[in-house]
Amino acid sequence: MTNNSVKKAEIVYIIQPIERENYKILHEEAVALIESAGAEYAGTIYQNIRTVDPATYIGEGKLRELKERLEGLELTVLFNGELSSSQTLNISNALDGKKVIDRTTLILDIFALRAESSEGKLQVELAQLKYLYPRLKGKGEALSRLGGGIGTRGPGETQLETDRRHIRARIHSLEEKLKDTERRRTFQTERRKKDKVITVALVGYTNTGKSTLLNALTGSDVLTKDALFATLDPTARSFEIEGVPFLLVDTVGFLQNLPHHLIEAFKSTLESAVHCDLALIVCDAAGDFETQLSTTLDTLKEMNFSSPYLVVMNKCDLAEASLTDAPRDAVLISAKEKRGLDTLKKRIFGALEEKFVRTTLFVPYTEEKKFSPLRPLFFEQSVKYTENGTEIGAVIPAIYAEQFRDFRKI
């Protein structure tokens, strides 16, 4: 798979269908997607599409208008929706052969640009090929139009000349490779469980500040960026609340109508986060947090998510006044200014309370030997040496509590 990074900013013009109620937000996102792909936004033509034209989607009249407007300009046209290959080709023909891409292609392209781990690369390639496959008709005429630059990163050039059979074989081999990594991860997840590591996952819409929050809570320095899909590979860091260690997992962000193949391809990496003990659903308090929250919950539902979660309203430094309609139980924070983090930690601990028993242990000096195998199983909060033994303030994972019964004072 080849990843052509953008060498010179490509200029992109948007065709924005407006029959959906939230088209303004979809449009804003398209601009952010263009910029996240390293390209430059040029302008928009809005179109109310009452009936979809099977040949050109937007209809001959609108295409003529667009052709006049874009005459002589060198740019790429983004259709902010999904096109079939023949629609892509027909629109391109009507616009003097300009390069035409759709929203899914652009999103897949950004993922291809960002993928760093070998698993991430395989997942993106799989999603791209699965999107491409049904679109490969005849001699691949539509593909030869794509040229270079955004919308063509990934399998584009290398697979251009190959036939459908070749792609099918590649899809199969990618699926096999991914299954292998998946098996290894299941093993890891199981070990974590055995090692009493409690996992807290950061999930949510893209660009809401998940990675910034990971850094703020764990003192790490993972990449944060004002761009869509800055994080692709799950990253885990540990942090402590009241002396108890937790593992915090950062994940890829969501977006409305994420390409289905992309969710499918990333399911396995996301699943390790989805099977967490607690999820923090991060929203941007200064953005459209209702859409962010519902998109996140819908996407999680698709992945059979059933863990408890807390809604975290981030970027409150930008939005204090307008938060009256935030979910009632939401925790308000600013990850960037490190505000509200103590409350958040308390809420995290509170939500996980049933996983722990707080207690005082008393270990007579004569029973040290009997106690020593239990040492690695609990978190020590305080120690006091008395005349006859040691008094320990302890937090014990509930699953081990029973083993401490001879030593519990309360």
Binding-site string for ligand GTP from residue 246 to residue 275, where x marks contact by CB under 6 A and - marks none: -------x----------------------
Binding-site string for ligand GTP from residue 332 to residue 361, where x marks contact by CB under 6 A and - marks none: --xxx-------------------------
C-alpha dist (Å) from residue 319 to 119, 215, 333: 37, 21, 11
Q: Of the candidates 202, 230, 285, 363, which one interacts with Mg ion according to CB under 5 A?
A: 230
Q: Of the candidates 85, 90, 92, 207, which one interacts with ligand GTP according to CB under 6 A?
A: 207
Nearer to Mg ion, 210 or 261 (CB): 210
Is position 212 an interface residue for Mg ion (rule: CB under 5 A)?
Answer: no
Nearer to ligand GTP, 49 or 303 (CB): 303
Question: Quick one: which segment of 10-18, 22-30, 315-323, 374-382 binds ligand GTP (CB under 6 A)?
Answer: 315-323
Dihedral (CA of 16, 113, 207, 283) sign: positive
| Phi-psi group of 124: left, alpha or beta (phi > 0 → left; psi -120 to 50 → alpha; rest → beta) | alpha
Strand-pair partners of 394: 359, 380
Q: Of the candidates 318, 383, 398, 399, which one interacts with ligand GTP according to CB under 6 A?
A: 318
Is position 210 an interface residue for ligand GTP (rule: CB under 6 A)?
Answer: yes
Question: Quick one: which segment of 9-17, 67-75, 204-212, 359-367 binds Mg ion (CB under 5 A)?
Answer: 204-212
Is position 153 an interface residue for ligand GTP (rule: CB under 6 A)?
Answer: no
Q: Which does 314 bind (CB under 5 to 8 A by kind): ligand GTP, Mg ion, none?
A: ligand GTP
Instruction: Name the strand (E) or helix (H) holding 342.
Output: helix 341-351
Q: What length does the chain have? A: 410
CB 381 within 8 A of CB 394: yes
Which pair of structure tokens corresponds to residue 258? Answer: 């994420």
Torsion of CA 369, 373, 377, 380, to 10 degrees: 20
How many residues touch ligand GTP under the rule CB under 6 A: the total is 22
C-alpha dist (Å) from residue 173 to 123, 253, 262, 302: 12, 27, 17, 25
Separation of alpha carbons 154 and 200, rounded Å: 33
Q: Which does 312 bind (CB under 5 to 8 A by kind): ligand GTP, Mg ion, none?
A: none
Dihedral (CA of 246, 251, 255, 258) sign: negative
Question: Quick one: which segment of 63-71, 208-216, 239-247, 398-406 binds Mg ion (CB under 5 A)?
Answer: 208-216
Separation of alpha carbons 4 and 99, rounded Å: 16
Please identify which residue in the block is written with the tokens 């309203």: 313
Q: Which residue is nearest to Mg ion (CB)?
A: 231
Is position 317 an interface residue for ligand GTP (rule: CB under 6 A)?
Answer: yes
Least Å distance, CB 360 to Mg ion, is 41
E strand intervals along 277-346: 278-284, 309-314, 331-332
Is position 211 an interface residue for Mg ion (rule: CB under 5 A)?
Answer: yes
CA 175 and chain centroid, separation: 20
Nearer to ligand GTP, 159 or 235 (CB): 235
- Give the residues lining the site for ligand GTP (CB under 6 A): 206-212, 224-226, 228-231, 253, 314-315, 317-318, 334-336
- Give the residues lining the site for Mg ion (CB under 5 A): 210-211, 230-231
